């Protein structure tokens, strides 16, 4: 059996690489006991803000066998989205993960191919694929599988290429040779904590989600609170500050996914054009983009808030 476990693990890893995943790791499907207490406390402190969906499916979040009955292994994958492309330097900014097509579709397409290839190569496998779309503790599983460690900003960091990655999982009923975690390489560095303008990054690798710029600009459906005025640093959708300052991201490489390439209109937009953004232009630029999550009205709210703030600071 152990030979099969090794052989199947090798097939899974080489197939994942062929499909463009940069790093692959395997862990045994089990209840994440050490995460349970952390998640409970995080929710009790209200760090999820108004993201009430975080309170749902507590057991499923921690136990993959409740998501996929009979699950034996969790395969964690990393898909690069880092890019050298930059928006107009004087423009309001969106997080680079949203430059191109929505990663949910791009990565999920890859995962579906992945599962069907594995069924051909290995035989009848029962399992499900996940891309940030179900209650899966993806960072915890990625850490368990050794493809990175959890940084002080709560994100998964890989020693070879940093943190500009989408995480995905394959939870399957196949027993595989597992990899095991690696050590934490953050050391005494606190750049991400020091540079966060809203003080959302707390000690012990904890993120107060309700203070994160991404939360305000994407998840929050109400008016933006006045007390964050001057703290959004021109981010109108998401935020890359804690990743941009992370020393490990000096090793980040350009992604190889054409579907992640931004439209030239997005890169060239000026603040005047953002201010005058119509629903039609929004739909055109962000046709298949993750930015649709905040909707036209949400993005307009963020743009108005930031441009009013900029005008006020210049008067």
Catalytic residues: 132
Q: Measured between alpha carbons, how far is 135 from 63 in angstroms, rounded to an integer?
A: 10
Q: Measured between alpha carbons, how far is 25 from 126 in angstroms, rounded to an integer?
A: 19
Cβ atoms of residues 211 and 179 within 8 Å: no
Tokens of 208: 């107060």
Closest by CA position to 160, among listed 59, 241, 82, 225: 82
Closest by CA position to 179, among listed 37, 2, 28: 28
**Residue burial 185-215, b: 16+ Cβ < 10 Å; e: rest:** ebeeeebbbeebebebbbeebbbbbbbbbbb
Closest by CA position to 135, among listed 74, 62, 68, 73: 62
Q: What is residue 139's three-state secondary structure?
A: helix
| Number of other CB atoms surrounding residue 272 within 10 Å | 9
Q: Measured between alpha carbons, how far is 7 from 12 in angstroms, rounded to an integer?
A: 9
Q: Measured between alpha carbons, how far is 110 from 21 in angstroms, rounded to an integer?
A: 9
Q: CA dist 246 to 51, 202, 252, 262, 291, Å?
A: 27, 16, 11, 23, 24
Q: What angle do CA 96, 101, 103 make, to 5 degrees?
A: 75
* Four-CA torsion 166, 303, 249, 184, nearest 10 degrees: -70
Q: What is residue 132's three-state secondary structure?
A: coil
């Amino acid at each position: 059996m152990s030979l099969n476990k090794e052989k199947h693990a090798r097939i899974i890893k080489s197939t994942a690489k062929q499909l463009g995943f940069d790093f692959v790791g395997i862990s045994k499907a089990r209840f994440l006991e050490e995460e349970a207490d952390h998640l409970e406390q995080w929710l009790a402190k209200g760090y999820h803000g108004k993201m009430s969906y975080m309170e749902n499916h507590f057991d499923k979040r921690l136990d993959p066998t409740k998501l996929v009955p009979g699950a034996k292994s969790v395969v964690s994958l990393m898909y690069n989205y880092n890019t050298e492309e930059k928006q107009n330097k004087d423009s309001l900014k969106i997080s680079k993960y949203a430059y191109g097509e929505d990663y949910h579709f791009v990565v999920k397409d890859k995962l579906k191919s992945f599962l069907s290839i594995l069924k051909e190569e290995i035989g009848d496998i029962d399992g499900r694929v996940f891309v940030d779309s179900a209650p899966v503790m993806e960072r915890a599983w990625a850490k368990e599988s050794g493809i990175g460690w959890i940084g002080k900003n709560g994100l998964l960091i890989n020693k070879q290429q940093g943190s500009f990655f989408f995480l995905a999982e394959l939870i399957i009923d196949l027993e595989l040779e597992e990899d095991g975690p690696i050590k934490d390489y953050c050391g005494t560095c606190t750049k991400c904590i020091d540079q966060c303008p809203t003080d959302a990054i707390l000690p012990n690798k904890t993120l107060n989600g309700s203070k994160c710029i991404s939360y305000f600009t994407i998840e929050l459906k109400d008016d933006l609170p006045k007390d964050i005025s001057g703290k959004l640093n021109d981010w109108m959708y998401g935020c890359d500050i804690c990743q941009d300052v992370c020393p490990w991201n000096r090793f980040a490489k350009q992604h190889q996914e054409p579907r992640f390439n931004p439209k030239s209109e997005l890169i060239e937009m000026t603040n005047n054009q953002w201010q005058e953004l119509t629903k039609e232009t929004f739909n055109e630029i962000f046709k298949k983009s993750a930015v649709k999550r905040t909707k036209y009205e949400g993005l307009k709210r963020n743009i108005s808030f930031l441009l009013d703030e900029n005008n006020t600071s210049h008067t």
